[in-house]
Amino acid sequence: MELVVYGVLCQREEERETAYRLLAFMLEREYGLKSFPRLVRAPGGKPFFPSRPDLQFNLSHSRGAAVCAVHNESLGVDVERLRPAPRRLAKGLDDEAFFRLWTAKEATIKRQGLGIAALLEPLEPDPLCQCLENFLPGWIVTVCPSEAVSIRTQRVERQDLTADTFAVYL
C-alpha cells in the first residue's frame, strides 16, 4: 500500500479544523468512507481509529497550511512555514536546513507516538524520513514512514473542503 499525503493552504487560525476536514476528505476520496471513524488518542497524544487499525494517519498544520498522511503502518508528518529559524535552536544552520531537520525530527517523534516535548531531547531523525520537495511551496513538509514505501502527494484546494465534508472537531 502506498503512503498518501494530502496538503492544503488555508487561512491562519483555521489550520487545525482544516487538517481534520482534509483527513475526512481524504478518507472519503481514497477509501470510500462516508462517515468518520471514532477517534481516540494514545497516551502520547497520537490520534488513531480503534476500529480501523489498517488506517494509520497523522496530521500537521502550521501558519496557513495543513497536511494529512495515511498508510497501513505507523507514520508521522510535519509541516512548517519556511521562515527565519530561531537562532538559539538553529546552531548555525540556515533557515531551510533548520526546518528540514526540525520537520524530520518532529515526523519521527510523531510516528513513534511520543509527545512533542521529545523534540528538545537529542534525537536523530529516522533515515526513512522524506522531505516532500515543492509539495507546498513556501512550507517544508516531511513524512516519516515505518518502512521504505512509495509516497503519493495530492494538493487540495481549500474550496474542495466544503462545509458538507464531514469533520471532527477535537
What is the pLDDT averaged over residues 153-165? Answer: 83
Answer whether residue 170 is part of any domain. no
Distance, in Å, from the CA atom of 159 to the CA atom of 49, rounded to the nearest integer, reads 26
pLDDT at 163: 60
Distance, in Å, from the CA atom of 41 to the CA atom of 49, rounded to the nearest integer, reads 9
Asked if 10 and 155 count as a contact pair (C-beta separation under 8 A), the reply is no
pLDDT at 157: 93
Report the chain's mean pLDDT, rounded to a whole number: 91
pLDDT at 137: 95
102: cell is 526540525
Q: Which CATH number goes with the domain that contains 16? A: 3.90.470
Answer whether residue 166 is part of any domain. no
pLDDT at 166: 53
Asked if 76 and 109 count as a contact pair (C-beta separation under 8 A), the reply is yes
Closest CA to 141 of 150, 153, 149: 153
Answer whether residue 127 is part of any domain. yes
Domain hosting residue 32, numbered range: 3-160
Answer whether residue 169 is part of any domain. no
Which residue type does 84 have? P
Domain count, the chain: 1
SS3 category, 99: helix
Answer whether residue 168 is part of any domain. no
pLDDT at 169: 45
Answer whether residue 139 is part of any domain. yes
pLDDT at 165: 59
pLDDT at 1: 85
**Is pLDDT above 90 for 120?**
no
Which residue type does 40 have? V
Answer whether residue 102 is part of any domain. yes
Contacts of 170 (CB under 8 A, 6+ apart): 20, 39, 47
Q: What pTM was computed for the model?
A: 0.92
Answer whether residue 56 is part of any domain. yes
Note the pLDDT tens digit of each residue in 19-49. 999 999 999 999 999 888 999 998 878 899 9
